Amino acid sequence: MKKILVTGAFGQIGSELVPVLREKYGKENVIAMGHITSPTPRLEEGPIVFGDVVHKEDLDKMIRKFDIDTVYHLAAIISAKGELNPQIAYKINMTGLYNVLELAREHALERIVVPSSMAVFGPDAPQDNTPTDTILHPTTMYGMTKVAGELLGSYYFSKYGIDVRGVRYPGILSSETPPTAGTTDYATAVFYDGIRTRKYECFLKEDTTLPMMYMCDAIKALMDLAEAPLKNLKHHTDFNVAAMSFSPKEIFTELKKYLPDLQISYKPDYRQAIADSWPRSLDDSAAHEEWGWKHSIDLPTMVKDLYEKLSARLEK
């Protein structure tokens, strides 16, 4: 049986990925490692450890103690928070990944799964149907660390045979953890503010179209790639994955079906420039061809599900 360590496990993706991994591989075989934030109650149903990915010895200790063979390395500072403190973003994203890769080499780990992001693209990449293989000139520290991370992962594969894999996520909407650090987080924040106060002030312009995905598809993408036969993969660390694209205006219109009195105002801030530098839609044909990726959730289905889950929780 696999022994999996998940770093960044208390964050947006980890909080929902860990329970799904535990269902598949057994509760005791998936170790959730986090740092500053608190774990959700669901994570406490299995092994939880505290450690900082910047400290190699923390990771080393966990890999030895639990006889780990696979790491899902989720710990990272994403776009918006990264621009407020690029130095911390660099340290966590680069030193954290380097530590994981070096330990994978030292312990001959079987697999490293590390998400990348559409933030690898910059304003000079094609903005519509952006291909997996194209020019990568990001303008954020987050994007730069993700480009470097993809390249490092490929380097460890060709130089040391470490099986490193990753998808480039679009914005992810989810209900377990409140949105805090991303440029795409407006799309979830509107549910929290809308349900509580019937008002939301959006930090992006109404027509800023970005690629997005619901969490269940995001988890499926990472796990499907992790399980794909190696011989079928031409790419490793840099697969675009797509599900839908929409603007603030489009998702707010959809949400107004459930909250007809929702009032929206717009006050674009520094996150607008980040959003403007990213694609409007992604071409994910490489993921489709090499490991059969296909999303299942569209905008209306996602909005209905998110509204039902969050209104049940927030209106209590």
Task: Report the alpha-carbon distance of residue 190 to residue 175 in Å, rounded.
Answer: 12
Give the start-end residues of each E strand in the chain: 4-7, 30-34, 48-50, 70-73, 111-113, 116-117, 163-165, 167-169, 171-173, 199-202, 210-214, 239-240, 244-246, 263-266
- Determine which one of 25, 72, 142, 186 is catalytic: 142
Task: Report the alpha-carbon distance of residue 201 to residue 29 in Å, rounded.
Answer: 43
Q: How many residues at the interface with ligand SER, by CB under 6 A?
A: 11
Binder among 157, 169, 200, 252 for ligand SER (CB under 6 A): 169
119 in contact with ligand SER (CB under 6 A)? yes
171 in contact with ligand SER (CB under 6 A)? yes
270 exposed, middle or buried (CB, 10 Å; 0-12, 13-18, 19+)? exposed
Under rule CB under 6 A, which residues in 33-92 are in contact with ligand SER?
A: 78-79
Terminal alpha carbon distance of the chain = 40
Nearest residue to ligand SER on Cβ basis: 182
Does 214 qualify as catalytic in the annotation? no
Q: Smallest gap, in angstroms, from Cβ of residue 218 to ligand SER?
A: 10
Q: Could you tell me which stretch among 47-55, 167-175, 244-252, 306-314 binds ligand SER (CB under 6 A)?
A: 167-175
* Secondary structure (H, E, C), 133-196: CCCCCCCCHHHHHHHHHHHHHHHHHHHHCCEEECEEECEEECCCCCCCCCCCCHHHHHHHHHHH
Task: Report the alpha-carbon distance of residue 26 to residue 256 in Å, rounded.
Answer: 40
Taking the least distance from each CB to ligand SER, the nearer of 66 and 142 is: 142
277 in contact with ligand SER (CB under 6 A)? no
99 in contact with ligand SER (CB under 6 A)? no
Taking the least distance from each CB to ligand SER, the nearer of 119 and 302 is: 119
188 in contact with ligand SER (CB under 6 A)? no
Q: Smallest gap, in angstroms, from Cβ of residue 212 to ligand SER?
A: 9
Taking the least distance from each CB to ligand SER, the nearer of 122 and 182 is: 182
Q: Which residues are catalytic?
A: 142
Q: Which residues bind ligand SER (CB under 6 A)?
A: 78-79, 117-119, 169, 171-172, 182-184
